[in-house]
Chains A and B, each alone.
Chain A
Amino acid sequence: DAGVIQSPRHEVTEMGQEVTLRCKPISGHNSLFWYRQTMMRGLELLIYFNNNVPIDDSGMPEDRFSAKMPNASFSTLKIQPSEPRDSAVYFCASSPLAGVDGELFFGEGSRLTVL
């Protein structure tokens, strides 16, 4: 298995532009998580899905952030409009067992820089 696949790996954009980050979880995994990592705040959970349904989005910073999971093999995290403080590494992770303890597998991350 190729693991959790994220794209793009790097994105540099200007303030005010829309940013879309993409994630393909490991096949068969039914939990998907979006984390944001910065030096100051560490690994912050933004949102997670079980069986494509958003369970907890309390970590989403504000209305500028939105996430979708239209099917079991694809999720997006969108920022519109982007701001310099959104600069961070965004990790997608998936877990094989919804409702049961299971290992969390991370993607390589998407490094976002907003100028």
Chain B
Amino acid sequence: GENVEQHPSTLSVQEGDSAVIKCTYSDSASNYFPWYKQELGKRPQLIIDIRSNVGEKKDQRIAVTLNKTAKHFSLHITETQPEDSAVYFCAASPRNNYGQNFVFGPGTRLSVLP
């Protein structure tokens, strides 16, 4: 089955700096790669996603890149703000004849220091 690795496990940056989180996946059948943000005590919520036919996607301060050949994808946050502090999860979504599954990485705890 699909296996997703994520690095780093913790990341501290100064406010205004950029943050990069990297993930790798194992199943070449995966073709959808969402990123979720989970604030303390809250549910994970989708912040950006990318599909396998696209190499890069950007939404304001957040961007995601995908390299299908190398089976890795990354989240980039620019001009970080204290409210970006949270745990971020990447996921890979393999499809089979029955539908779509979501396998999550272990998460990255991002701290943005004022």
Contact = CB atoms under 8 A, between A and B. Distances in A.
Interface string A19-62: 00000000000010101000000110100101000011010000
Contacts of A56: 101
A23 to B, nearest CB: 13
A45 to B, nearest CB: 7
A3 to B, nearest CB: 9
Interface of B: 1, 31-32, 34, 36, 42-46, 49, 51, 89, 91, 93, 95, 98-107
Given A43-B107, A99-B95, A104 B31 contact: no
B43 A99 contact: no
B45 A106 contact: yes
A71 B69 CA distance: 40
Contact of B100 (A31, A35, A106, A108): A31
A97 interface: yes
Given A93-B102, A104-B102, A107-B43, 15 more contacts: A31-B100, A42-B105, A43-B89, A45-B102, A56-B101, A91-B43, A99-B95, A99-B99, A103-B49, A104-B34, A104-B36, A106-B43, A106-B44, A108-B42, A108-B43
Interface of A: 31, 33, 35, 42-43, 45, 48, 50, 55-56, 58, 91, 93, 95, 97-104, 106-109
18 contacts: A31-B99, A35-B104, A42-B106, A43-B89, A45-B103, A45-B104, A55-B98, A56-B101, A91-B44, A98-B99, A101-B95, A103-B49, A104-B34, A104-B36, A104-B102, A106-B43, A107-B43, A109-B43
Contacts of A100: 100
A57 to B, nearest CB: 12
Nearest to A105: B46
